[in-house]
Structure 1
């Protein structure tokens, strides 16, 4: 049966239409420390997990900015739920980078099966004949309770006298889940620990996750010529932008009926500081949103022609997107302070949204300190660190 692919406008509108429902469920999501099965089912029915899935297995294979815009909408309603869509929705893209045998094994019976991940190399990996043996604990696997298709986990392994950072697809029956997710924000993501003991992963279920060259991306369809780390990092930034947009929504709802204690001012909407903080915060969020969407569109202009994205472009995009978390946190905190005492009650969605942004901005993909040094050094003509984080065999730089 052929797949009916919605338009970009249709699928983004589906996300927008779910915002009220997600806001209703956000408190329960946080208290249960995971997204409900009903919410995940709603996302399945909306097609969000198919956006980057190859058409070969029933996916939509759409522009990466479709996922980014969907995430920007969903996170306005419930950051944790949107975070699950981001993580579980980006892995179909990764399957598109692997040999077709992986997609056949994963989706032959059910092409809606989801995969979670834990890329930080917490465990150990040993190269053996025909593949790898994995052992250890992998933390923070968001949405793992909904991922019947297993997980991608990251690990460093020595190959040919160099250390390679690889991703491994581990099937669900090959790991245990430990519920250790007790955190200050994004508690509803269900980002639990995976335990893997002496699991063999065949060579074809793994790839060098940072590789970006003709060997790793040359023989795939145009969407999958986008660098994986770029697509993933931009998706994280998009969720955080959505969280900050949600903070603006809540702030406006909070301030419109509010009366200021200063009788000379009267209604809060007449307070110049309440207005100016909102205007500045909104501008910061809009700037971050425009940058992420623009960067992805520029990278797509190469990939959609079947070309690899040049090194210089990749560096600018990868680095500049990592400032999103800090900018959105600053914007959200700026208006949170103007809610005064009303914003701190535990039954106020404003404080939950603020805590979620705090945790989202702490994600490794938002490491503006280290990446600022790398980007500034590149602009000043400094050589890239080795190993090159942008691919061992980069495409020629743009001039």
Structure 2
């Protein structure tokens, strides 16, 4: 049962939103080949997500959103990723930025959603841009890679850049919300997996002015005056939605493997049929364990952080460091799960008309995302537990000299 947000709509519950996503899986499977061929999610799919309310999940209530906890979007993305990885990834990226607005100056929301509350924005937080401080804001220039769903983002894009002091020392990593007319799209998205995300590069050919209120630190974390949903660390929430998409991709492998293998009961010349083969049974069970464990870590992390946010407290550093690794290990575990089932799918798995290979290629590509860097993050946690300092610019801003 929803609660009335205003006179125009009713906010659905999380379970209802998840069921809407689950109901889309067969349809998403059917169109997944076309999404890859076009190298972009079609507007009709984005519109279906819009009609289902997915882009309102994290949008602040002041601009017509549901203002829900990020867990709701995580669970929806996990379902969508089962049917079409590129669609799940695109929803994750285009759907998480509404949460980001909840952490920023309200003027930003007024500027983006003042006339149309359905406008979307994309992003490329890679710190490859050049930011120059000027009166009232920043001058930004550069070229940024892999902005997923950028064709659908008429409201602009969040772009990343390092801020250096006069001596060239790192001071901050910031996101800048740039107007759509200030950059061009470069169609260079020719990749092995997630082929349909339309993750084009963005280029600012001349410097673009970004007012101070349209920029925020990605590193600095503090409690503000907005709703509890927006009182969690940026990295945890953003990394969590990427990892949720990856869980969906891996679960899609499991779905397809079971559908392919379960009917094969007949005995082979060299042993039992696949469904009765104990080695195949073990690999399926092991894969499901890895995926469920990754899923549980993601959801537990956001639930733990929400306890602090609901009390108006900063999530403690000890919790944040552990959760950072919990989320980033998703790619490793889910790719391992997908690969072990793909190996047991036999020769059929390598054909391009077999959906399982698309799910696996998507896992391969997603596991290379910066949010899935479990090696460095494991070292962060190990060093922290041994009393060593954390690297500056990851969890906190570097101390001024």
**TM tier, shorter chain?**
over 0.9
Please give the alpha-carbon distance, in whole angstroms, between the structure 2 residues aligned to 1:99 and 1:150: 17
What residue in structure 1 maps to residue 143 of structure 2? 137
Give the whole-Å Cα distance in 1 for the aligned partners of 2:170 and 2:38: 43
Aligned length: 390
Give me the whole-angstrom Cα distance separating, in 1, the residues matched to 2:272 and 2:174. Answer: 60
Matches within 5 A, 1:314-393: 314-387=320-393, 389-392=394-397
Aligned residue for 1:191? 199
Match of 2:113 in 1: 107
RMSD: 1.6
Residues 78 and 319 of structure 1, relative CA distance in 2, 3 Å threshold: same
Structure 1 residue 211 corresponds to structure 2 residue 217: no
Q: Note the alpha carbon deviations across 1:347-379, whole angstroms, 9 max, x for none.
A: 111111110000011110000111110111112
Residues 142-179 of structure 1: per-residue CA shift (max 9 Å, x gap): 00000011100000122587521110000111111011
Partner of 2:62: 56
Q: How many angstroms does 1:81 deviate by?
A: 0.3
Q: Partner residue of 2:190? A: 182
* Structure 1 position 101, deviation (Å): 0.5
Deviation string 1:45-92 (CA, Å, 9 cap, x unpaired) is 011111111001001111111111111111000011010111001101
Deviation (angstroms), 1:393:
9.6
Q: Give per-residue Cα distances to partners, 1:288-310, cap 9 Å, x unaligned.
A: 11111011100011112222211
Q: Residue 259 and residue 343 in structure 1: after superposition, are their counterparts in 2 closer, same or farther (change >3 A)?
A: farther
Q: What residue ranges of structure 2 are gaps of 5+ in the alignment? A: 1-6
In structure 2, distance between residues paired with 1:393 and 1:110: 39
SS in 1 for 2:144: strand
The change in CA–CA distance for 1:162 and 1:138 in structure 2 (over 3 A counts) is closer
Deviation at residue 280 of structure 1 after TM alignment? 0.5
Q: Hey, what's the Cα distance between the residues in 2 that align with 1:334 and 1:264? A: 21
1: distance between equivalents of 2:266 and 2:314?
A: 56
Task: Report the Cα distance in structure 1 between the residues aligned to 2:12 and 2:297, rounded to whole angstroms.
Answer: 25
Match of 1:163 among 171, 177, 201: 171
Q: Which residue of structure 1 aligns with residue 82 of structure 2?
A: 76
Residue in structure 2 matched with residue 397 of structure 1 by the alignment: none
TM-score by length of 2: 0.94
Give structure 1 stretches of 5+ with no counterpart. Answer: 395-399
For 1:295 and 1:121, the matched residues in 2 are separated by: 26
Match of 2:3 in 1: none
CA distance in 2, matches of 1:259, 1:381: 55
Describe the SS at the equivalent of 1:382: coil
1:260 Cα shift? 6.2
How far apart are the structure 2 equivalents of 1:86 and 1:92?
A: 11
- Runs (4+) off by over 4 Å: 159-162
Counterpart of 1:311 in structure 2 is 317
Is residue 246 of structure 1 aligned with residue 252 of structure 2? Answer: yes
Structure 2 distance, partners of 1:371, 1:17, is 36
Match of 1:173 in 2: 181
Query: Does residue 209 of structure 2 align to residue 200 of structure 1?
Result: yes
Measure, in 2, the Cα distance between the counterparts of 1:345 and 1:335: 15
Question: TM-score, with normalisation over the residues of structure 1?
Answer: 0.95
| 3-state secondary structure, aligned to 1:200 | strand
Give the Cα–Cα distance (whole angstroms) in 1 for the partners of residues 253 and 11 of structure 2.
32
More deviation, 266-275/58-67? 266-275
Structure 1 residue 250: deviation in Å? 0.6
1:11 is the counterpart of 2:5: no
The question of whether the paired residues in 2 share the 8 Å contact of 1:257 and 1:267 is answered with: no
SS in 1 for 2:329: helix
Match of 1:220?
226
SS in 2 for 1:122: strand
Q: Mapping of 1:17-32 within 5 angstroms?
A: 17-32=23-38
Task: Work out the CA distance in 1 between the residues paired with 2:123 and 2:269.
Answer: 54
Contact 1:2–1:58 (CA under 8 A) maintained in structure 2: no
Distance 1:30 1:259 in 2: 33
Secondary structure at 1:123 match in 2: strand
- In the other structure, the counterpart of 2:4 is none
| CA-CA distance at 1:265 after TM superposition | 3.8
CA distance in 1, matches of 2:270, 2:88: 42
